Structures are given as C-alpha cells and as structure tokens.
Amino acid sequence: MSLRVPPPQSLREALKVPDRYMFGPGPSNVPPRILEAGARPVIGHMHPEIFEIMSDIKSGIQYLFQTQNKMTFAVSGTGHSAMECAIFNTVEPGDSVLTAVNGIWGERAAEMAERIVKKGFSWSVFALSKHRPALFFLAHGESSTGVLHPLDGIGQLCHKYNCLFLVDSVASMGGSPLHMDQQEIDILYTGSQKVLNAPPGTAPISFSERACRKISSRKTKPLSFFLDFNWLTNYWGCDDKPTRVYHHTGPVTAFYSLRESLAVLCEEGLEASWERHRTVAEYFHAGLENIGLKLFVKDKQVRLPTVTTIIAPHGYDWKEITSYIMRTHNLEISGGLGPSAGLVLRVGLMGCNSSRTNVDMVLSALTDALQHCHRSKV
Ligand code: PMP
C-alpha cells in the first residue's frame, strides 16, 4: 500500500521556541538548572535508579506539603489529573460532594464529581451537617480570582462530620504557608509548573490515612484505571508490597525536572520561599496602586501572593493590553478565567519569577501599555 499522507513540510523546519518572560498564571519560567535536569538520558521507568529518584521526589513532596503521609507521590499529568485522581478515588456513586466555589476551580471540581454522583452542593458550614458529604473541595489559591482561602479549622470541621477535606494548592503551594498534617487536610495536590518552576506534566499529591480508609472501603472500582490509587501507590512504592508492577510508563525526564525543582525549593527552604512571595507580592500590589490600577481582591489578608488579579482598567480592551505587552515586552500576563473573564488582568510571579526586579518589569510594561493602548472616552 502506498502512503497517502506525506510528511508535513513544517516538520522539515527546525524547532523554534522563543524565550519569554512567563508572568501569567502558569506555566512559569523554568530555570536552566531544572531544564538541564530534564535533558538527562532516558532510562527504564522501572530501573532502580528511577525508583531512587521517585523516592527522592516523595520525600521532597512530604517536605513541601509538610506531611508524614506514606501515600505521597506524583501523578503523571498536569494539575487536572491530580484533581481527578483525588476525586475519582475517594468518591463513589451514592456519596455526595461539597465544593467551595470562589472561582473556576470549585466549578471544575463539581463538574468532575458530577460524573460520579448526581449533584454537588455549594459550600456553607450548614451544608456539611445537612448533606453529610463524603468529600469537601476547596481551592487554597484560586488562580482565577486571585483569592487565597484561609484553611485553619476547616479540616477539623470536616472531620466532625466524617467528611474528607480535599485542597487544591496548584497555585499556592510553595508560595504561601500550608501544613497538610497540622491543618488536617486529607488530600492535597499541586502542579509542577507554578512555584516549583518545572515544566507542566507532573502533579504532586498526598493522601491521609483517613482518605486511604475511605478508598479501601470502596464497593466499586474507581472510574479511571490510569488514576487508580492502588495502582499508582504500588508503582510509587508507597504500599510496601514486595513487587512494583507495571502500570504505565512513568515520564522519567519529567521526574528528573520535578526532583530538581524540589531540590531547589529545599535549598531555599519553605519558610524563606513563603516570605519572599509575600514581600514581593506586597511590593507589587503597592506598585500597582501607585500607577493607578486597582486590585480585584480588596481584603489584603486573602490576596494570593502568587497570582495577582488586577481590575481590568476602565476604558481599555484587556486583550489589547495583554497582546501589546507580549509584542512589545516579550512578556506574558493574562486576562481572567471562568467567572473572572473580561473583569481582570492576571499576573503570576511564582518561584524564581517572584522578585522585585520582575515586579518593576511588569509595572513598567503595564505603564507603557496604558499609555499606548486605545482608550475609549466613555
Ligand atoms: N487548580 C488551580 C488552582 C490552577 O491554577 C490550575 C492551573 N491553572 C489547575 C488546578 C489545573 O492545573 P493544570 O492546568 O496543570 O491541569
């Protein structure tokens, strides 16, 4: 048989990737050290050296999450895969799920849960006692609205009603204080591409003993084979079984970068990283107000230090601003997402990007955009 589809002309050209300032809500810039780690040779995903790297990753995540949980690993996939891993493994038909909606991520979690259970319920303390949900979802850092949701006391409240506490920390982890065990969080996940500064594609996750008990008491198998907790924890060597069985081919080069990104964070120290993100964000927020922009989140206490939402300046087309800044300054900032679409500009300064120099760069790009973009008189 002859080939009917010729090789595409475009693939004869060399790969072109520009260097950019990645100051949107993610992915962030990946420093050379982490990029180089990902360029090391591919070896078998079940070779002993890879198991050792996976074990280092587990310890790194335990530090990052401040947890002693044995069931700590990284899902092969982006933040969404960890979200589904958390929900699909703990929820089964007949359960109810409660989600706090303070932006798009609560909506997404509800959309995932509704694939298993009939209807999710929206958050209020009253809803815990009324609906007796099996799981409560909360985004710690809501990257769509720029809100940092307080966590203290919620885990204890959930446990009073025999409900698991699931926290999304994709946008906050490493940039804002969080103590998984002390705050009684049952399932916690994050992504690699924000504060960790690794490429997108791996998602750290951890399950408490309480969460494990709920999983082992399931009457049905989880919806997804790929995200099945028992398979994944065996592949990651968390379950103490004598043999680790092939489940999927782990993305080994992504593991190298994840390990390196955790090593960078360990070198700086969590508390130092939290403090750096806090002070840089404060400096940024003051600078924004100085140039006449307004922050979307009024209450300083609940502003996310990693992703800042700025009220879309009146009279301007937000898209013109983001494209002007990209074209003129080679710098990505983004518009809103989900409920904040059209209302805000979003700037993410995460991990190595969280510095005063970068704040100054964003402020001058915004000032320039406000001078040069079209402004309507109405
Ligand atoms: N949760 C939050 C709070 C996020 O900010 C994101 C990414 N923007 C996700 C989940 C999903 O992560 P990913 O895009 O890596 O799938």
Distance from the alpha carbon of residue 26 to the mean position of ligand 1, in angstroms: 8
CA-closest residue to ligand 1 atom 14: 79
Q: Which atom of ligand 1 is nearest to the CA of 144?
A: 5
Cα of 186 vs centre of ligand 1, distance in Å, is 19
d(C-alpha 71, C-alpha 86), whole Å: 12
CATH number, span 21-26+271-372: 3.90.1150.10
Expressed in angstroms and rounded, the spacing between residue 371 Cα and the centre of ligand 1 is 33
Q: Residue 76 has what pLDDT?
A: 98
Compute the distance between CA of residue 121 and CA of residue 99 in angstroms, rounded to an integer.
Answer: 6
pLDDT of 142:
96
Cα separation, 159 vs 217, in Å, equals 17
> Within 10 Å of residue 374's Cβ, how many Cβ atoms?
10
Nearest CA to ligand 1 atom 1: 170
pTM tops 0.75: yes
Distance 190 CA to ligand 1 centre (A): 8
How many A from CA of 348 to the centre of ligand 1? 13
Nearest in space to 273 (alpha carbons), one of 179, 151, 177: 177
Residue nearest (by alpha carbon) to ligand 1 atom 6: 170
Element containing residue 337 per DSSP (H, E):
none
Distance between CA atoms of residues 43 and 200, nearest Å? 20
Evaluate: CB of 78 within 6 angstroms of ligand 1. yes
Q: CATH top-level class for 32-267?
A: alpha beta
Domain boundaries, the chain: 21-26+271-372, 32-267
How are the residues of the chain apportioned to helix, strand and coil, as percentages rounded to the nearest 5? 40, 15, 45
pLDDT per residue of the chain (378 residues) written in tens, 0 to 9:
999 999 999 999 999 999 999 999 999 999 999 999 999 999 999 999 999 999 999 999 999 999 999 999 999 999 999 999 999 999 999 999 999 988 899 999 999 999 998 665 666 667 888 889 999 999 999 999 999 999 999 999 999 999 999 999 999 999 999 999 999 999 999 999 999 999 999 999 999 999 999 999 999 999 999 999 999 999 999 999 999 999 999 999 999 999 999 999 999 999 999 999 999 999 999 999 999 999 999 999 999 999 999 999 999 999 999 999 999 999 999 999 999 999 999 999 999 999 999 999 999 999 999 999 999 876
Please report, in range form, the residues annotated as the binding site for substrate.
346
What is the reported pLDDT for 377?
72
Radius of gyration of the chain (CA): 22
Residue with tokens 């982006």: 78
pLDDT at 121: 65
Which residue's C-alpha comes closest to atom 12 of ligand 1?
79
| 345 bridge partner residues | 310, 335
